[in-house]
Amino acid sequence: MSALPVTLRKRLRTLVRDVPFDAVRNIQWSLLDWREILIESLIRLAGISSIIIVGMIFLFLLREGIPTFLDIPLRQLFESRWYPNEGLYGMWPLIVGSLIVTVGAIIVALPLGLITAIYLGEIAPEWQREILKPLIEVLAGIPSIVLGFLGWIALAPLIQKLGAPTGLTALTGSLILAYMALPTIISISEDALYAVPKEYRDGALAIGATRWQTIRHVVLPAARSGLVMAVMLGIGRAIGETMAVMMVTGNAAFVPTFGADMALQPVRTMTATIAAEMGEVAQGSMHYHVLFGIGIMLFLITAAINSLAGRLVGTSGNRRRGGQL
């Protein structure tokens, strides 16, 4: 190196000092750009594909179910007689049955779920929370057919002892659905309460509020959006359940007599009707198309529930876009 001319040595130092650093820096930036573009493309593809899949499902339902609303008058569709063998496709008993079972399940699951979530998130000690939270989440993994079997064997005889002519009633279905919706409501509600900043609680306690006042007037309003979503997901779980409801509600396609014992009468839901009759119909028949028409109604009901949830949490209007870069 010492035998080289001074000018050549300076040029070599420049190449060693500058060129490799710039090259490495350019390579690093190119790799970062390539990875960022790949990740953004995958995220965009996942989002677009989910929209496309939902749209294709809805288009398939429309293709198979639209003859229901074109060939059968709406007045006949909402009559109170469901006898497909005689060409009578009145959906009113199925709608009423689904409504009774779902409302009954929410009446039972909502207070129990919120109270349990408040206890786990605000009152229970840490060791107790670490035990109860996994157990509650495990309940969500029990197959619905198993719960339906337990309701048929164990719960139905108890309901019959209350004075019902049979144990397979709307009340039995509501209790089973409430049990199935509880893990969803509890887990999401507890997560929503946990997300409330600790400073909110400390500030309320600092100005003299009691523990219950802090929970009622500070924590619950701050977690309102998460609590509403928990309730809506619980409703979605209840209204979309099939096998357990089909096993314990009696599958009687008639409108229960309005009164105090309405919940003690057999009913039939829309989902149970699709599951029970789809395997028996001829493809392309009117009965076949009517079952898909029921699926369209369920799809629209689910969309309405999601829209209502968005309005209740204040996200259906001007959405916050602060998270976008």
Per CATH, the homologous superfamily of domain 72-312 is MetI-like (1.10.3720.10)
Can you give the pTM of this predicted structure? 0.77
**Contact criterion met (CB below 8 Å) for 234 and 174:** no
Average pLDDT over residues 219-247: 84
Residues 58-98 have pLDDT tens digits of 898 888 888 888 888 888 888 888 888 888 888 888 888 88
Tokens read off for 206: 């600092």
Domain ranges of the chain: 72-312
pLDDT at 241 over 60: yes
CA 308 from centre of chain: 13
Phi/psi for 242 (5° steps) reads -125, -65
Work out the average pLDDT over 100-125.
89
Once rounded to an integer, what is the mean pLDDT over residues 17-27? 53
- Residue labelled with tokens 């953004």: 40
What's the chain's average pLDDT? 81
Q: Is 82 helix (H, G, I), strand (E, B) or coil?
A: strand
Confidence of residue 7 (pLDDT cuts 50, 70, 90): low
Q: With cut-offs at 50, 70 and 90, classify the pLDDT of residue 52.
A: very high
C-alpha 265/C-alpha 256 separation (Å) is: 6
Closest among 133, 71, 79, 103 to 293, alpha carbons compared: 71
The SS3 of residue 78 is coil
Work out the average pLDDT over 292-319.
75
